[in-house]
Amino acid sequence: MFDVIEPALFAMLTIAIVAAGAGVVLANRITTSALLMAFTFLSVAGMFLLLGAETVAMFQVLIYVGAITVLILYGVMFTPQSPRLYGLFFQTQKWWAALFVIPIAAFVAAAAFAFRDSATIGAKGGDLMPLATSVFRDYAFPFEVASVLLLAAMVGAIVLVKRDED
């Protein structure tokens, strides 16, 4: 019975991700885009669950749906709303966009269909320990460098904003 459910879930999630992703770009109102983006993130989390990576799925929802989307909505609400006065970048330059997107899409599709070995994603259940050891032991130094970089970016953003007030 579960042989049917997993491909069905996969199909539903795939359609949801692609459709909501297209909606993010095509929607006229930026709030709709933000909400559809949250939906895309949720569907991607579902994809991680199907792959047996529960921890990654949880962090996906915790950080992207719970924090990033709310932050974007927060920003949107403080921005003046004027739909259609400014076209979004992709909506006014369709042909240029297509020119750049089609080669990339072809490359991604080719790469995606090159993966045929489904046995490599069989590690179900308990991705917490491997994730923790790889982040905090094997790759501890790059991880710390990245966090210092983020801290520097944050301090820089605060300094940039504060300078206007003086």
| Interface positions with other proteins (CB under 8 A) | 1, 31, 35, 38, 54-55, 58-59, 61-62, 65-67, 69-71, 73-74, 77, 125-126, 128
Reduced 3-state DSSP string for the chain: CHHHHHHHHHHHHHHHHHHHHHHHHHCCCHHHHHHHHHHHHHHHHHHHHHCCCHHHHHHHHHHHHHHHHHHHHHHHHCCCCCCCCCCCHHHHCHHHHHHHHHHHHHHHHHHHHHCCCHHHHCCCCCCHHHHHHHHHHHCHHHHHHHHHHHHHHHHHHHHHHHHHHC
Shortest Cβ 41–other proteins spacing (Å): 10
Reduced 3-state DSSP string for 24-54: HHHCCCHHHHHHHHHHHHHHHHHHHHHCCCH
Shortest Cβ 8–other proteins spacing (Å): 15
Phi–psi pair at 48, nearest 5 degrees: -60, -40
If the CB atoms of residues 1 and 111 are measured against other proteins, the closer one turns out to be 1
Shortest Cβ 58–other proteins spacing (Å): 4
Shortest Cβ 128–other proteins spacing (Å): 6
Shortest Cβ 66–other proteins spacing (Å): 3
If the CB atoms of residues 1 and 161 are measured against other proteins, the closer one turns out to be 1
If the CB atoms of residues 74 and 107 are measured against other proteins, the closer one turns out to be 74
If the CB atoms of residues 109 and 126 are measured against other proteins, the closer one turns out to be 126
If the CB atoms of residues 10 and 31 are measured against other proteins, the closer one turns out to be 31
